[in-house]
Amino acid sequence: MSEFPWLLTMIVVPAVGGAAVAALPKGRDALAKQAALAVSLLVLVLAVLATVAFDTGGERFQLTTSVSWIPSFGVDFALGVDGIALVMLLLIGVLVPVVVVASWRDTGPGGRSMKAYFAWLLVLEAMMVGVFAATDVFLFYVFFEAMLVPMYFIIGSFGGPRRQYAAVKFFLYSLLGGLVMLASVIGLYVVSTSQIGEGTFAFDALRSLDIDPGVQKLLFLGFFVAFAIKAPLVPFHTWLPDSGAEAPVGGAVLLVGVLDKVGTFGFIRYCLPLFPDASRTFAPWILGLAVAGILYGALLAMGQSDMKRLVTYTSIAHFGFIALGIFAFTAEGGSGAVLYMVNHGISTGILFLVVGMVITRGGSRSIADYGGIGKKAPVLAGVFLVAGLSSLALPGTNSFVSEFLVLLGSFPTRPVFTIVATVGIVLAALYVLLLIQRAVHGPARGLVTEQPFPDLRRRELVVVAPLLALVIGLGVYPQPLLDLINPAVAATMGDIGSDPAGTQPATAEQGAN
């Protein structure tokens, strides 16, 4: 057990902060914003300090805290992180304060108070930390389901015109996946009871079970369906375009940037180590879905007229690359996939934020209503361009190294899927550059001339600056994150018995060459 409960503190601080913000008297919106920003920055500091305390050469799971919770069923409130979970906590720590500042001037539908919005953001942050830090499978399930509640209210109360429809669809899809996973969680408990004499939900104990291959397949499918919906993979994706388009911009950043990563995180954390035989059996089918998602998401993105829906469809394509790296069963592919999870959160986060700034100025989500933004707002246009180039994984931006490592790691074991997936790179260039060409370049027209269209304000520069720094910084030197990720991925590959020749740690040099 670590000397200081870093992870528990990272859950308690935003949870208490959210409750405190919600309890503020009516009309204290300014104080609510200030409190939310202070709490989210404190969580970022805790995440950085936890990273400093993490020993990349030490035990697989560190910063652990474990308290008996429901002893009669072997349930512990057990927390711990490996490098995979730790980089996701860092992503949460960066994105939440950015979202708070980005939402500073927002008002709810009908001009309603945003106090509840900031309270739900902090509660959501607590749930997201919990889902990545849990090392007890039952506790993971609790956080997995609990984080639906704040996001449901964020979309349903503060989103666009079809917010209630989108919120209900998001909730029902995710709840259905969670219920399917619950059946497999119970199945794991039964198997552990038969093999070790007492039921347990501890990840390390479950990882050591020798589960019958037939039973493995059934249990694997329960987890896979829940994670495939959450990711989402095609054809489980239909809730995301509605939710991403109707959510407020800050909510969309966290939905696509972090919440959806719980699905791909679940693949590599739970599906592969707990069900190695089933993972290998179903891998070709999952890779087929991943590649289909890459192509489908890219083609649908090209045909969108709504900017927010376009960004959500690009995310479906990106999640396909992440799944490809995970189920290639190589260290390069796995490390690339985890790095992709972080980089996608950054690049999609800044793209959503820039799109939100454009919509705020023009009052429309339609791409056709804009043109020549660069003439009226050159700094905004420049940030828009960098965000788009990061999304298409241009060399020198953060997404390039992760996408390259995924393709490098998947080609030796899955060459056909990898070759088909590369078509998605070409399509990504098309949908991003077409968007930039239509909205940014050319003479000013449409709402750009009809509405006041100022350039980026000081607060907006504060919002995009840290993400721009990460886009460039991780594009030039991603090795610090890979140093955290590589040992955890190598341990996961060991769990599924991958060929050591295919599990060499990834380095920044591989991505750069």
87-120 exposure pattern, b = at least 16 Cβ within 10 A, e = fewer: bbbbbbbbbbbbbbbbbbebeeeeeeebbbbbbb
| Residue 367 within any structural domain of the chain | yes
Three-state DSSP at 81 gives strand
Residue with tokens 């007229």: 305
Which of 36, 137, 120 lies closest to 78 in space, CA to CA? 137
pTM (two decimals): 0.94
What are the tens digits of pLDDT across the range 252-288? 999 999 999 999 999 999 999 999 999 999 999 999 9
* Mean pLDDT, rounded, for 75-87: 95
Please check whether residue 2 is in contact with residue 62, taking contact to mean a CB–CB distance below 8 angstroms.
Answer: yes
| Residue 378 within any structural domain of the chain | yes
Domain count for the chain = 1
| Residue 15 within any structural domain of the chain | no
Terminal CA-CA length for the chain: 41
What mean pLDDT value characterizes the chain? 91
The pLDDT, as a whole number, for residue 442 is: 83
Find the domain containing 496 and state its range. Answer: 277-513
Residue with tokens 């639906």: 148
3-state helix, strand, coil in the chain (%, to 5): 75, 5, 20
| Residue 57 within any structural domain of the chain | no
* Mean pLDDT, rounded, for 164-173: 93
What are the tens digits of pLDDT across the range 4-61? 999 999 999 999 999 999 999 887 888 999 999 999 999 999 999 999 999 998 899 9
Please check whether residue 263 is in contact with residue 231, taking contact to mean a CB–CB distance below 8 angstroms.
Answer: yes
The pLDDT, as a whole number, for residue 498 is: 61
| Residue 394 within any structural domain of the chain | yes
Q: Is the pLDDT of residue 109 over 80?
A: no
| Residue 92 within any structural domain of the chain | no
What are the tens digits of pLDDT across the range 435-491? 999 999 888 888 888 878 899 999 999 999 999 999 999 999 999 999 999 999 999
Both structure tokens of 34: 């200030």
The one-letter amino acid at 440: V
Question: In Å, how far are 127, 174, 493 from 91, measured between CA atoms?
Answer: 14, 22, 24
Round to whole Å and give the CA distance between 221 and 439: 43
| Residue 208 within any structural domain of the chain | no
Please check whether residue 466 is in contact with residue 91, taking contact to mean a CB–CB distance below 8 angstroms.
Answer: no
Both structure tokens of 81: 């992180």
| Residue 364 within any structural domain of the chain | yes
